[in-house]
Structure 1
Amino acid sequence: MNGEWVESETGALIEVENPANPDEIVASYQSSSAEDATAAVEAAAAAADDWAATPGPERGRILREAGTLLAERNEELTDCLIAEESKAYAEANGEVQRAIDIFHYFSGKAADPGGTVKGPSSPNQNLYTVEEPVGVVSLITPWNYPIAIPAWKLAPALAAGNTVVLKPASAAPGVAVEIARSLDKAGLPDGVINVVTGLGSTVGSGFIGHDAVDAVSFTGSSEVGQMVYEQATDAGKRVQTELGGKNPTVVTDSADPADAADIVANGGFGTIGQSCTACSRAIVHKDVYDEFVAELVDRAESIDIGPGSDHEMGPQVNADELDSTLDYIGIAEDEGATLAAGGGVPEGEEVESRYFVEPTVFTAVDTDMRIAQEGGFRSSHRGPQGE
């Protein structure tokens, strides 16, 4: 906060466990207080005018340098992401690279904030618009893309001249903290970015409710997002919510069933299925249905499951997420869907007593079944009301 690494007066810590080995604590972070959240917002507000007045090219230079610093630590950040979330190496490394690309992209956009010139209706007049920063922006991000989503929100906010308070998800805050470290090293002025780790009910709600916060960007569940939206709009703030989905892939009769199965498997089982944009439904034409199902089941059953560092598919992020997934598998069976693949916890020394679940395929799913309508995430996107 305000350019310094500050100890919270709470003295409490949030311990982050390795999802592939829950007995291993990989990191500890401060469980900050409402007072810490307030101090962060006040630091951002104090820095807002000077940062808004900083020329766009200078803002862009800092963003580019931060991206370069992240690039120099690509492997280190990948290891941190895998340790805290256990995403497969290729996915984790790709996400880190995406964050780097985002900072480099918006470094160029910072020099050209836009504005328009209009034709006036009267002589001897100039009519034009000027883009100005909103002010202090509060960002609340989830664990399923712990470096990409903070980068998606941070880079454009900073490029446009806003100051930021960020609360990363408690399950995997490490890479977001390292973004702040890189921005600080790149020369970002004190108070422009302030990262506060802690519970959403304390820190996130403190950010949203503070009078000095002008805008809120939240990624999380629909239930929590609705509360965020109402709290922010009631206070007259701008608000952006990116919530859960139930995303279908439509497979037509002209589709190649094998290609379609590849697409659905990648969309459904990639990132351990823990994505709000994951493909969770396939709507398949009857003429290719049987062949498509056979192809998809084959792909589900061939996925290599184990710790993300050296396997194709890692574990669920925590016990709550695993329980939620298994609960929905049970609900689907109780409602009459046909289990075609997976559906349980895998066996083997490397995966027992941990948070792994088999890639699962259901067929004969009616549109009124809960698995056809509900995302099923219990903890993947929890926001200000708790982690």
Structure 2
Amino acid sequence: MSIAVTPNLIAGSFVAEAGGEPIEVRDPSDDSVVGRVPAMTAADVDAVITAAVDGAKTWRAAGPLARGRILHDAAALIRAASADLITLIVSEWGKTTAEATGEVGKTAEFFEYYGGMGRAAQGELIPDARPETFTMIRREPLGVVLLITPWNDPLLTPARKMAPALIAGNAVVIKPATETPLITLRLADILHRAGLPAGALGTVTGRGSQIGDVLTGDPRFAAVSFTGSTTVGLDLQRRLAGSGVRVQTEMGGKNAAVILADADLDLALPVLMAGAFGQAGQRCTATSRLLVERSVADDVTRRVADAVAALRVGPGTAEGVDLGPVVSRAQQSDIRARVEAGISEGAELIARADVGADLIDGGAFVEPVLLTVDGDNSLWREEVFGPVLGMRIVDSLDEAIDAVNDSPYGLSSAVFTRSLAAAFRFVDAVDTGQVSVNQPTSGWDIHHPFGGFKESGSPFKEQGEEALQFYTRVKTAAVRTH
């Protein structure tokens, strides 16, 4: 039986037709087809952007209170549809039901949080030395913004970008990842039903190789917010430099956790495992490097090895599963090849979870592994984006900090210690945009400013009030009363 094409939202209407052959979306646990989406061409994309230009005017004129009410209504609709959204994420992406449940809940919270900002101050009054004059600072929307989102959080990341962009009064055009577009189109349907006017939101599905340059090169966009690989993000920064288009990039990470000799290991180990192997390691904030102080290295190695070996891998719908599949067969092959390359470079395999051959042959499953590596090994230096944890031994806090910082990435890091002095020394010295003490490298809440340093990000943070800095411009107005 043929599966219907899920339509894009264009100018307030849902359109399934496009110039290219529809793209199949597959369940990574068994390779079955779960949906189809349009493969847009340049002409199809132009229609979406043209509608957004008009939609930006309508949406800005609606005012912040009306915008906030629509975002709150969208949050209520997300909660009402949570069971269906969870099922779709599990089938399209392969996440466990528990992980998908968390993603849907956080998505609703993003729209609730930014919906409330419809009642926040939109600027401020500042002194003016001139007589009978007052001066105000106004925050205004940019116009039309392009959002390019990845497959690893296919509902949450669109919400993280959409909600602040929309409450600020911008029209949004969103291009989801080709692997996981269905859930983003469902979100667009929810926002449409919540009352977004025509053109305030448009969706674009298609192959990045065919329409990526068309999207990012269109001068009608005032800003581009991208989450994805460092290679693509850096290329985007270079291509848009000097164009006047504002660019936000959230890119790769090679996040390190440090366990010091005084750490509470009963606290640290479960937290470390969640940070390293949640979502099958497919988070930009996942812990992929572990640094352990020498005096506790044997104990930590034994505990982590036992925990890795005990991980249960299977379809996301199965009871008691810790890890589902990775997102695709291509990702499965890439992760396994990287592990083999690291071992050939001298990495030692310490522990591996048991994953049956039937799962690996039948779907995109990967064995979680723990390895010891040196600082030159590719598994230590390159982002793997899978359930792979590399470990090294250090002799001091300063050596650990140096190792954390010895990376082109600077997204997230963590330290486990009972010492306040060591904790604050770590917070001060590590070159990462996110840093935790006795918490995982992952798990940042909606109101926490989020973003990395170096090749992990750009100057603009996401989440919290900081996100509005990217989606607004400042206008200073002086008014003489008479």
TM-score where L is the length of structure 1: 0.94
Q: Distance in 2 between matches of 1:217 and 1:227?
A: 13
- Per-residue deviation at 1:196? 1.1
Deviation at 1:258, TM superposition (A): 3.5
For 1:71 and 1:375, the matched residues in 2 are separated by 34
Summarize deviations over 1:111-164 as a string: whole Å, max 9, x none: 325312111122211111000001100000000000000000001100000000
* Match among 1, 13, 18 for residue 27 of structure 2: 18
Q: Secondary structure at the match of 2:206?
A: coil
User: How many Å separate the matches in 2 of 1:339 and 1:357?
Assistant: 15
Greater percentage in strand: 2
Larger mean Cα displacement after TM superposition, 225-234 or 367-376: 225-234
Asked if the contact 2:237–2:247 (Cα under 8 Å) also holds between the matched residues in 1, the reply is yes
Which of 278, 287, 298 aligns to 1:279? It is 287
Give the distance between the partners of 1:377 and 1:267, measured in 2 at CA.
12
SS at the partner of 1:171?
Answer: coil
What is the letter of the counterpart of residue 338 of structure 1?
E
Could you say what secondary structure the match of 1:129 adopts?
A: strand
Instruction: Tell me which moved more, 148-157 or 353-362.
Output: 353-362
Contact 2:360 2:366 in 1 (8 A): no
Structure 1, 36-45 or 225-234: larger mean CA deviation: 225-234
- Post-superposition CA distance 1:12-47 (Å, at most 9, x none): 11111111001x101111111111111111110111
Q: Is the 8 A contact 1:16 1:172 kept in 2?
A: yes
Q: 2:182 aligns with which of 171, 174, 183?
A: 174
Amino acid at match of 2:332: L
Alignment-derived partner of residue 383 in structure 1 = none
Percent of residue pairs identical: 37
User: Match of 1:59, SS?
Assistant: helix
| Aligned 8 A contact 1:346 1:352 in 2 | no
**Given the alignment, which residue of 139, 142, 149 partners 1:131?**
139
Aligned letter for 1:277? T
Q: Which residue number in structure 1 is paired with residue 337 of structure 2?
A: 327
Q: What's the counterpart of residue 32 of structure 1?
A: 40
Match of residue 313 from structure 1: 323
The size of the alignment, in residue pairs, is 375
Matches within 5 A, 1:328-367: 328-342=338-352, 346-363=355-372, 365-367=373-375
Where do 5+ consecutive residues of structure 1 fail to align?
379-387
The SS at the match of 1:197 is coil
Matched position secondary structure for 2:133: coil
Distance in 2, matches of 1:113 and 1:38, equals: 35
Correspondence for 1:111: 119
* C-alpha separation in 2, matches of 1:377 and 1:198: 23
What whole-Å deviation, never above 9, does each CA across 1:35-75 have from its counterpart, x for those lacking one? 11111111101111221111111001111111111110001
CA distance in 1, matches of 2:35, 2:308: 32
2:226 paired with 1:218: yes
Moved more, 203-212 or 91-100: 203-212
1:47 and 2:58 aligned:
no
Contact 1:14/1:29, CA 8 A, preserved across alignment: yes
Bigger mean CA deviation after superposition, 55-64 or 199-208 = 199-208
Bigger shift: residues 347-356 or 211-220? 347-356
| 1-structure distance, mates of 2:305, 2:175 | 39
3-state SS of paired residue (2:349): strand
The structure-2 alpha-carbon separation of the partners of 1:37 and 1:113, relative to structure 1 and needing over 3 Å to count, comes to: farther
Instruction: Give the secondary structure class of the aligned counterpart of 1:102.
Output: helix
Given the alignment, which residue of 79, 82, 92 partners 2:87?
79
Amino acid at match of 1:313: L
Instruction: Look up the match of 2:418.
Output: none
User: Aligned partners of 2:54 and 2:240: how far apart in 1?
Assistant: 21
Per-residue CA deviation, residues 138-193 of structure 1 (Å, 9 max, x unaligned), is 00000000000000000110000000000011111111111110111111100000
1:238 aligns with 2:272: no
Maintained 8 Å contact 1:136/1:162: yes
Q: Which residue number corresponds to residue 3 of structure 1? A: 12
Q: Which residue of 1 aligns with 2:261?
A: 253
Letter in 2 for 1:12: E
Whole-angstrom CA distance in 2 between matches of 1:233 and 1:192: 26
Contact 1:86 1:317 in 2 (8 A): yes
Residue 384 (structure 1) aligns with:
none
Question: Which 4+ stretches in 1 moved above 4 angstroms?
Answer: none
1:109 Cα deviation from its structure 2 partner: 0.7
> Could you tell which deviates more after superposition, 201-210 or 216-225?
201-210
CA 1:372–1:353: 2 relative to 1, 3 Å: same
Residues 1:227 and 2:235 are matched in the alignment: yes
1:42–1:34 CA distance, 2 compared to 1 (3 A): same
CA distance in 1, matches of 2:120, 2:214: 33
Shift of 1:276: 0.8
Measure the CA separation in 1 of the matches of 2:384 and 2:347: 16
CA RMSD, 1 decimal: 1.5
Task: Supply the AA of the counterpart residue of 1:178.
Answer: R
User: Is residue 39–residue 206 contact of structure 2 (8 Å, CA) maintained in 1?
Assistant: yes
Please give the alpha-carbon distance, in whole angstroms, between the structure 1 residues aligned to 2:381 and 2:121.
40
Q: More deviation in 66-75 or 46-55?
A: 46-55
Instruction: Give the conservation status (yes or no) of the 8 Å contact 2:18–2:38.
Output: no
CA-CA distance at 1:256 after TM superposition: 2.3
The offset of 1:91, in angstroms, is: 0.6
From 145, 148, 165, the equivalent of 1:157 is 165
- 1:35 maps to a residue whose letter is A
Conservation of the 8 A alpha-carbon contact between 2:20 and 2:41: no
Structure 1 counterpart SS, 2:317: coil
Q: 1:301 to 1:43 in 2, by over 3 A?
A: same
Counterpart residue type for residue 100 of structure 1: A
SS at match of 2:140: coil
